[in-house]
Amino acid sequence: MLSQEFIRNALLAGTFVALACGVAGWFVVLRGQVFAGDALSHVAFPGALAAAAAGVDQRIGLFVATIAVGAGIGLLGRGVLAHGSRVTAGASPTDDTAIGTAFTFILGLGVFFLARVSMGSAGASGAVGAHTLFGSIFGLSAGEACLAALIALTTTLLILAIARPLLFASVAPEVAGARGVPTRLLGVVFAALLGAVAAEAAQALGALLLLGLLTAPAAAAHRFSRSPFAGIALAAALAVVAVWGGIALAYAIPALPPSTAIVVLAVTLYYASVALTARGVGLPHR
């Protein structure tokens, strides 16, 4: 299996994308921003279509769209939208309502661009759409895989660099604010980094499926361990396991698309963690 070049490329890119998804996802689940992550991943789709309509490289569209929307969610998330009596660590149901309204609008723009792309050339919109929505990890060239690994590694390191203050700001925002931690800025920076992770993962797993790799391993890690750094490591490890297992499964079963295999494995890990912790494995839960 390893003698195939496309498998080696997929493993190289997939491993680092999994690391980034695991680490970012752990904070996403901690901060209750799963819907924000979902919205960001879907936004990759209009981003790629807008780039296709404008005739520039799709990756530019992906990154610009997700990072911009990420920063927007970070900016609006706590200050403007959550001004009520409810102060929680991270997002609240109110944020979810706002995110839901905004991202349907952005996807509406996506369809507007889709109409533009399909006016240009007939087959292109279907291909662009399918690649962006469901990914093509087996279709990466060596150069693309190296670039993807490099970008994923950089975003992972950046998130780890702000991990300590971000953790403080997520768990106890008021105390962190009182101690001089720039909680607002950290929220924006994290959401923008999350956008970069989403854009990176969208190329491998697709805008519809990357949510599985972002949340399922991280949610499983949260169930097993309440210690932050053990949890982050576990989330990254579980995500890597899901990617490797998924690539191997998809290689063994040709009818199974790799992104489906990866996501199904990741979700299976999550359900296994729910079942195991219900039987008392891991730490007792709140």
Partner 1 sequence: MPAELANPTLSFNVAHDVGELLEYHFMTNALLAGGIVAVMAGVVGWLMVLRGEAFAGHTLSMMAFPGAAAAALIGIPGAWGYFLFCGAGAGAIARLSGREHFSWSEQSAGIGAVQALALALGFFFLSLYGGVLGDLESLLFGDLLGVGDGQVLLLAAVAVVSVSALALLARPLLFASVDADVAAARGVPVRALSLAFLLLLGLTVAATSQITGVLLVFALLVAPAASAQALTARPLASLLLTIALGLAIVWLGLGIAYFSVSPAGFFITTVAFVVYVLARVTAAAHARLARADPPAPAQEPCPEGVIA
Which of these ranges, 62-70, 96-104, 147-155, 172-180, lies near partner 1 under the rule CB under 8 A? 96-104
- CA trace torsion 165, 166, 169, 175 (10° rounding): -10
Nearest approach, Cβ of 142 to partner 1 (angstroms)? 25
Instruction: Say which residues have a Cβ less than 8 Å from residue 147's Cβ, sequence separation at least 6.
Output: none
Contacts with partner 1, 114-133, as mask; x by CB under 8 A: xx---------xx--xx--x
Query: Applying CB under 8 A, which of residues 65, 211, 232, 236 lies at the interface with partner 1?
Result: 211
Q: Which of 22, 70, 90, 165 binds partner 1 (CB under 8 A)?
A: 90
Shortest Å, Cβ 34 to partner 1: 4
- Does the protein bind partner 1 through residue 264 (CB under 8 A)? yes
CA 259, 264, 265, 270 dihedral sign is: positive
Q: How far apart are the first and last CA of the chain?
A: 44
Query: What's the chain's length in residues?
Result: 286
* Secondary structure (3-state) at 257: coil
Distance separating alpha carbons of residues 104 and 249, to the nearest angstrom: 34
Asked if 159 contacts 27 with a C-beta cutoff of 8 angstroms, the reply is yes
Rg (CA), the chain: 19
Distances in Å between the alpha carbon of 99 and those of 71, 132, 153, 202? 13, 21, 28, 19
Note whether 35 binds partner 1 by CB under 8 A.
yes
Rule CB under 8 A: choose which of 1, 54, 56, 111 binds partner 1: 111
Residues 13-32 contacting partner 1, CB under 8 A: 29-32
Q: For residue 92, state whether it binds partner 1 (rule: CB under 8 A).
A: yes
* Exposure on the CB side of residue 234, measured as CA atoms within 13 A: 19
Smallest distance, partner 1 to C-beta of residue 91, A: 8
- 271 near partner 1 (CB under 8 A): yes
Residues in the site for partner 1, rule: CB under 8 A? 29-32, 34-35, 37-38, 80, 82-86, 88, 90-94, 96-102, 104-105, 107-109, 111-112, 114-115, 125-126, 129-130, 133-134, 206, 208-209, 211-216, 218-219, 222-223, 255-257, 259-260, 263-264, 266-267, 270-271, 274, 285-286
